[in-house]
Amino acid sequence: MKEEITGIIKCALNSLKKQWEIKDLPDIEVEIPKNEAMGDFALTIAMRLTKLLKKNPRAIAEEIVEKINAEELELFDNIEIAGPGFINFRVKKEFFCKGLGQLLEEEHSSLRTDLGKGHKVQIEFVSANPTGPLHIGHGRGAAVGNALCNILKAAGYDVQREFYINDEGLQVKLLGESVFARYLEICGRDDEFPEAGYKGDYIRDIALALHAEAGDKYAGTFEDNGGPVTDYAYKMMLVNLEKDLRDFGVLFDNWQSEKEMHVQGKVTDAIDALNSKGLIYEKDGATWFSSSQFEDDKDRVVKKQDGQYTYFASDISYHKEKLDRGFDTIIDIWGADHHGYIPRIRSVLEAFDLPKEKFTVILIQMVSLLRNGEPVKMSKRSGDFITLREVIEEVGADITKFVFLSKKADSHLDFDLGIAKEQSSENPVFYIQYAFARISSIFKQATEKGSSLPAGRQGGDLSLLKEAEEMSIIKKLSQYPLVFEGAAISCEPHRITYYLQELAGVFHSYYNKHRVISDDAKLTAARLSLCMAVRIVLEEGLKVLGVSAPERM
Partner RNA sequence: GCGCCUGUAGCUCAGCUGGAUAGAGCAACUGACUUCUAAUCAGUAGGUCUGAGGUUCGAAUCCUCACAGGCGCGCCA
106-145 residues in contact with RNA (CB under 7 A) are 129
- Judged by beta carbon, residue 211 or residue 438, the one nearer RNA is 438
Restricting to residues 257-286, name those near RNA by CB under 7 A.
283-286
166 forms part of the interface with RNA (CB under 7 A)? yes
The stretch near RNA (CB under 7 A) out of 226-234, 303-311, 318-326, 383-391 is: 303-311
Tell me the C-alpha distance between 102 and 118, whole Å: 24
Q: Which member of 127, 347, 406, 478 binds RNA (CB under 7 A)?
A: 406
305 forms part of the interface with RNA (CB under 7 A)? yes
Residues 161/149, Cβ–Cβ less than 8 Å? yes
178 forms part of the interface with RNA (CB under 7 A)? no
517 forms part of the interface with RNA (CB under 7 A)? yes
Query: Which positions from 480 to 499 touch RNA by CB under 7 A, shown as an x/- string?
Result: --x---x---x-x-xx--x-
- Judged by beta carbon, residue 110 or residue 171, the one nearer RNA is 171
What DSSP line would sit under 78-136, residue for residue?
Answer: EEEEETTTEEEEEE-HHHHHHHHHHHHHHGGGGG---TTTT-EEEEE-----TTS--BH
Query: Which positions from 186 to 215 touch RNA by CB under 7 A, shown as an x/- string?
Result: ------------------------------
> Comparing C-alpha atoms, which of 305, 334, 324, 223 is closest to residue 264?
324
Task: Give me the least distance between CB of 400 and RNA, in Å please.
Answer: 14
Task: Give me the least distance between CB of 388 and RNA, in Å please.
Answer: 18
37 forms part of the interface with RNA (CB under 7 A)? yes
**Number of residues in the chain:** 553
Q: Which member of 18, 23, 512, 519 binds RNA (CB under 7 A)?
A: 512
381 forms part of the interface with RNA (CB under 7 A)? no
Pair type for strands 120-124 and 329-335: parallel
Q: Which member of 53, 363, 386, 453 binds RNA (CB under 7 A)?
A: 363
- Judged by beta carbon, residue 346 or residue 495, the one nearer RNA is 495
Task: Give me the least distance between CB of 242 and RNA, in Å please.
Answer: 20
- Judged by beta carbon, residue 29 or residue 384, the one nearer RNA is 29
The stretch near RNA (CB under 7 A) out of 118-126, 203-211, 310-318, 348-356 is: 310-318
Residues 351/274, Cβ–Cβ less than 8 Å? yes
Helix (H, G, I), strand (E, B) or coil at 387: strand
Tell me the C-alpha distance between 547 and 1, whole Å: 27
- Judged by beta carbon, residue 388 or residue 549, the one nearer RNA is 549
Task: Give me the least distance between CB of 147 and RNA, in Å please.
Answer: 14
379 forms part of the interface with RNA (CB under 7 A)? no
Residues 540/503, Cβ–Cβ less than 8 Å? no
485: left (phi over 0), alpha (psi -120 to 50) or beta: alpha
- For 272, the enclosing helix (H) or strand (E) is helix 266-276
What DSSP line would sit under 281-324, residue for residue?
Answer: EEETTEEEE-GGGTT-SS-EEEE-TTSPBPHHHHHHHHHHHHHH
Which runs of consecutive H residues, i.e. helices, occur in 122-265?
136-154, 170-186, 201-214, 222-247, 258-263
Restricting to residues 56-75, name those near RNA by CB under 7 A.
57
In this structure, what DSSP letter does residue 193 have?
Answer: P
The stretch near RNA (CB under 7 A) out of 200-208, 270-278, 375-383, 419-427 is: 419-427
> Comparing C-alpha atoms, which of 163, 125, 129, 128 is closest to residue 331?
125
The stretch near RNA (CB under 7 A) out of 134-142, 176-184, 406-414, 541-549 is: 406-414
- Judged by beta carbon, residue 80 or residue 107, the one nearer RNA is 80
- Judged by beta carbon, residue 191 or residue 350, the one nearer RNA is 350
> Comparing C-alpha atoms, which of 442, 542, 539, 448 is closest to residue 497?
542
CB 14: neighbour CB atoms within 10 A? 11
Query: Which positions from 338 to 357 touch RNA by CB under 7 A, shown as an x/- string?
Result: xxxx----------------
